[in-house]
Amino acid sequence: MIGIFSFLGFTILVAIISYLATRTTNEQTSDGYFLGGRSLTAGVIAGSLLLTNLSTEQIVGLNGSAYTDGLSVMAWETLAAIAIVVTAIFLLPRYLKGGLTTIPQFLAKRFDVTTKTITSGLFLTGYVVVLLPVILYSGSVAISGMFDVPTLLGVSDSTALVICIWGIGLIGSVYAVFGGLKAVAVSDSINAVGLLIGGLLIPIFGLMAIGDGSVFGGLDILIDANPERFDSTGNPGQEVPFATIFTGMMLVQLFYWGTNQQIIQRALGAKTLAEGQKGLLLASFLKILGPLILVLPGMIAYHYFDGGLDSSDLAYPELVRAVLPKPLVGFFAAVLFGAILSSFNSVLNSSVTLFGIDIYKQHINPDAPETTVVKYGKIFGICLALAAMFIAPLIANAGSLFNYLQEINGIYSIPIFTIIVVGYLTKRVPAIAAKVGILSGSALYIISQFWLKNKFVDAALADANAKGITDPMQLKLIEAEAYPHFLHIMAILFVTNIVIMLIIGAIKPRKEPFVLEYTDQVSITPYKYVNQMGIIICCIVIGIYVFFAK
């Protein structure tokens, strides 16, 4: 009961603070509803970015990857810091100068409305079909298991799951649909503090469990027992081979932190460019500490359970159950609940923004006043939330989707990132090139990953079988070497799509060179030390890799 009361207390506190912080914001205008009135400060932006990024499928999934592969999977966290620095220095100034509410808005100005609509549709498809149901399902599994909801309510596991899904979905919808971006961002920033505290408690108690009450003693034992697992450079057959850091990994990071509407919308709501840059830099520094929450617990679990768990996805929840004192379970569940809500309502809010600005206002009712755009955006958000809540229970095993989702998102992430890069770096590449780039990028990636890859892998495994090879580790390595890693494929197709677009631009260039129009929505004076802080953060990341490289 103590756990339930602490869970409810922290959750209600976040809701009250969010209400008090947003009650004076004008939610009837596009800027007020979609961008929090362009009033977000550095701390709020950083907190919201972190909580938008983190949710149960990442906390559980990445720790599961660390359980299997060790420290090398930290690339998903540490390299994000460099991508955020690039966004702060190069991309955000251009976004705020152009007064953008959504990233596809730039594509309408640079190319044409059709390109913008296609991109918005891809974003919405990725968010609605994949992200929202998975977030709801994985989060509900965690909450249901932590509080043992089936026993608590006297219902079956499936019924308890549905109850949790609808509970999370309804609460998240209230924040995202009726509160707008500012309510989402404020609640995120509060939950970020809780996540940092609660997230750090898990490795602390885990190391104490290993080291007989000593954190540093536990760390020494962990390193001495399996020193090879503290290698920052991944090997072939692992999730993040070292070479991928220099190819598709950085492209994925730049897309996610620099052009993904779900993420960058927080920085677009900054009150000034300087505040936005400070928020991004703060977030990038905190991402360097991310492995303490998202990687180290998985490595502790490997030692604690002697690598004997049935599934790597059990590493984090089993470690929490084993080492966290019972009185803290409620607080940690509230923190986890905040992370679940954050990802859900952030994706939902971004979907509402994309629909309201890029589809309803553009194609359905161009003359609609802003209050009408916001109204129908909210209606669309309610429909999406309901659809996600109905779809979520149908997902059989969301935890296993973590790595698969990273791969499948390449269908739309790299094509979109390609046309944005070409759009900013060139002036005469025409709209037809952008359309070809999106379609060719998506089609080639699908052919590569879901047809060619299967053929090569099947042939390699058949050859291994003919040679009598049965060792699972050896078969895993053979499978990995049969076809290029999906991150390498992303890099190859990124370059291929750029070449295709440049060739089209050379054959049929725009009649007039593109000129980025500046608006006066917010002050675009940059943060005084943005370059210096960016260099320091990048040096820290490189230093970490060098220190742990073996």
Pick the range with the lowest mean pLDDT from 274-278, 349-353, 533-537.
Answer: 349-353
Report the distance separating Cα 97 and Cα 93, nearest Å.
6
Residue written as token pair 């590569």: 448
- Encoding tokens for residue 262? 């779900």
Which CATH superfamily includes the segment(s) 2-11+41-406+526-548? Sodium/glucose cotransporter (1.20.1730.10)
The secondary structure of 137-162 as a DSSP string is HHHHHHHHHHHTHHHHHT--HHHHHH
Q: Taking 50 as the threshold, does the pLDDT of residue 30 lie above it?
A: no
pLDDT in tens, 162-213: 898 888 888 777 755 555 445 555 666 666 677 778 788 899 999 999 999 9
Identity of the amino acid at 59: I
Q: Which residues contact 347 (CB under 8 A, 6 or more apart)?
A: 127, 131, 132, 135, 262
- CA triplet 154, 158, 159: central angle to 5 degrees? 50
pLDDT for res 178: 55
- Encoding tokens for residue 317? 């929840």
Domain ranges of the chain: 2-11+41-406+526-548
Report the distance separating Cα 421 and Cα 548, nearest Å.
33
pTM of this prediction exceeds 0.85: no
Please give the backbone phi and psi of residue 272, each rounded to the nearest 5 degrees, phi first: -145, 165
Residue written as token pair 């990132």: 417
Q: Which residues contact 134 (CB under 8 A, 6 or more apart)?
A: 57, 392, 395, 398, 401, 405
Q: Taking 70 as the threshold, does the pLDDT of residue 45 lie above it?
A: yes
pLDDT in tens, 412-457: 888 999 999 999 899 999 999 999 999 999 999 999 988 999 899 8
Report the distance separating Cα 436 and Cα 199, nearest Å.
44
Greater confidence, 211 or 355? 211
> Under DSSP, is residue 233 helix (H, G, I), strand (E, B) or coil?
coil
pLDDT in tens, 475-519: 878 888 889 988 999 999 999 999 999 999 999 999 889 887 777
Q: Which of 169, 142, 126 is nearest to 56 (CA)?
A: 142
Identity of the amino acid at 155: V
Q: Taking 90 as the threshold, does the pLDDT of residue 222 lie above it?
A: yes
pLDDT in tens, 90-144: 999 988 887 777 777 888 888 998 998 888 888 787 777 777 887 888 778 777 7
Q: Taking 50 as the threshold, does the pLDDT of residue 33 lie above it?
A: no
Please give the backbone phi and psi of residue 124, each rounded to the nearest 5 degrees, phi first: -65, -40
Q: Taking 90 as the threshold, does the pLDDT of residue 282 lie above it?
A: yes
Report the distance separating Cα 275 and Cα 93, nearest Å.
11
pLDDT for res 297: 94
The number of CA neighbours under 13 Å toward the Cβ of 47 is 21
- Encoding tokens for residue 134? 């998975």
Report the distance separating Cα 485 and Cα 472, nearest Å.
19
Residues 200/294, Cβ–Cβ less than 8 Å: no
Residue written as token pair 């916001």: 374
Burial (CB < 10 A; 0-12, 13-18, 19+), residue 352, is buried
Q: Which residues contact 182 (CB under 8 A, 6 or more apart)?
A: 21, 22, 25, 36, 37, 39, 40, 269
Q: Which of 448, 441, 450, 436 is nearest to 415 (CA)?
A: 441
Residue written as token pair 């094509």: 415
* Residues above pLDDT 70, as percent of the chain: 86
